[in-house]
């Protein structure tokens, strides 16, 4: 058996999971990314932050815009850049990895396999590291942009058993990672009890995003079992929040 590839992004995520290490990703939506000085300021803040990863993607983004953002990020930051595509057109070269998302919480066949068939030849030509990822929308009304654009209802927050069964099915199908998302701009993050229930049921890395606005939100998600926590809208509104988000928090005794 060949040893694990240390350069594989998925393997670094698996290592973090096995060691109980924390990962923090900043989600950059190219459609909402600033330009000029504000863009340079955002990039500098990301590079100087505790973020371990940068995700790039959105619901209404074109290939040209995605390519420009990925290229500029790769030129300017040290963190790996991972595609979080909302459509096949957002699959571009130069990224370190691609979350090959299958919306297993919904029943829209286009997002279960349809768009994957469209994107597969393009991805194969790029030789891009592809991470088979089960995408679960979890939350309550009002609907988020992700729920609206995907034509699917999220798993209700009060039904963690449904989220667990969905996660188990995804892993049994061979998915290597799970992304639990409350949706962009959600009023509340994925409930910690849901994260814990899924963590106890499956042994793959858990990425958790949506509604994360504070260090407290991050701590709750990590403590519940998240491998990687994602912050997006909060950074869009105020890039300065990055200096307040930490992988670990000093206590008063630590100084």
Position 6 in a domain: no
Tell me whether residue 250 is in a domain: no
Nearest CA to 226 out of 110, 123, 136 is that of 136
Average pLDDT over the chain reads 91
Cα 173 to Cα 134: distance, rounded to the nearest angstrom: 10
Looking up residue 123, the CATH number of its domain turns out to be 3.20.20.390
Does 10 map to a domain? no
Cβ-proximal residues to 101 (8 Å cutoff; 6+ apart), any chain: 84, 85, 111, 133, 135, 179
Residue 11 lies in a domain: no
Cα–Cα distances in angstroms (integers) from residue 185 to residues 210, 211, 213, 224, 248, in the given order: 6, 6, 10, 21, 24
DSSP letter, residue 153 = P
Length of the chain: 255
pLDDT the model gives residue 145: 73
DSSP annotation of 244 reads: G
Give the pLDDT band (50/70/90) at residue 252: very low
Q: What value, to the nearest 5°, has the Cα angle with vertex 129 and ends 199 and 39?
A: 90
The answer to whether residues 98 and 82 touch, using CB atoms and an 8 Å cutoff, is yes
3-state helix, strand, coil in the chain (%, to 5): 45, 15, 40
| Residue 249 in domain | no
Q: Domain limits at 188?
A: 21-242
81-140 residue pLDDT tens: 999 998 888 999 999 999 999 999 998 999 999 999 999 999 999 989 999 999 999 998
DSSP letter assigned to residue 210: S
Residue 29: CB partners within 8 Å, gap ≥ 6? 57, 58, 61, 184, 232, 236
Task: Tell me how many domains the chain contains.
Answer: 1
In a domain, 3, yes or no: no
The answer to whether position 205 is within a domain reads: yes
Residues 38-46, mean pLDDT to the nearest whole number? 97
| Alpha-helix residue ranges (DSSP H) falling in 49-190 | 63-76, 109, 115-126, 145-150, 160-172
Whether 253 has a pLDDT exceeding 80, the answer reads no
In a domain, 224, yes or no: yes
Q: How many CB atoms lie within 10 A of CB 246?
A: 15
pLDDT band at 1 (very low <50, low <70, confident <90, very high): very low
pTM for this prediction: 0.93
């Amino acid at each position: 058996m060949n040893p694990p590839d240390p350069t594989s992004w998925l393997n670094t995520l698996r290592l973090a999971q096995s060691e109980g290490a924390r990962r923090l990703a900043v989600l950059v939506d190219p459609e909402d990314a600033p330009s000029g000085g504000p863009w340079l300021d955002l990039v500098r803040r990301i590079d100087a932050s505790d973020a371990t990863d940068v995700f790039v993607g959105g619901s209404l983004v074109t290939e040209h815009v995605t390519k420009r953002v990925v290229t500029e990020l790769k030129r300017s930051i040290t963190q790996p850049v991972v595609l979080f595509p909302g459509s096949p057109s957002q699959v571009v070269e130069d990224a370190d990895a691609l979350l090959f998302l299958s919306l297993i919480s919904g029943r829209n066949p286009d997002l279960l396999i349809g768009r994957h068939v469209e994107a597969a030849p393009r991805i194969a030509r790029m030789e891009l590291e592809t991470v088979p990822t089960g995408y679960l929308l979890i939350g309550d009304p009002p609907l988020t942009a992700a729920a609206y654009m995907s034509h699917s209802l999220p798993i209700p927050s009060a039904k963690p058993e449904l989220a667990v069964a969905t996660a188990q099915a995804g892993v049994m199908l061979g998915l290597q990672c799970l992304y639990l998302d409350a949706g962009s701009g959600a009023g509340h993050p994925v409930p910690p009890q849901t994260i814990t229930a899924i963590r106890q049921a499956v042994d793959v890395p858990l990425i958790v995003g949506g509604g994360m606005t504070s260090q407290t939100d991050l701590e709750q998600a990590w403590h519940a079992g998240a491998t990687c926590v994602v912050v997006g809208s909060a950074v869009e509104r105020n890039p300065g929040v990055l200096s307040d988000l930490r992988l670990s928090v000093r206590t008063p005794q630590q100084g």
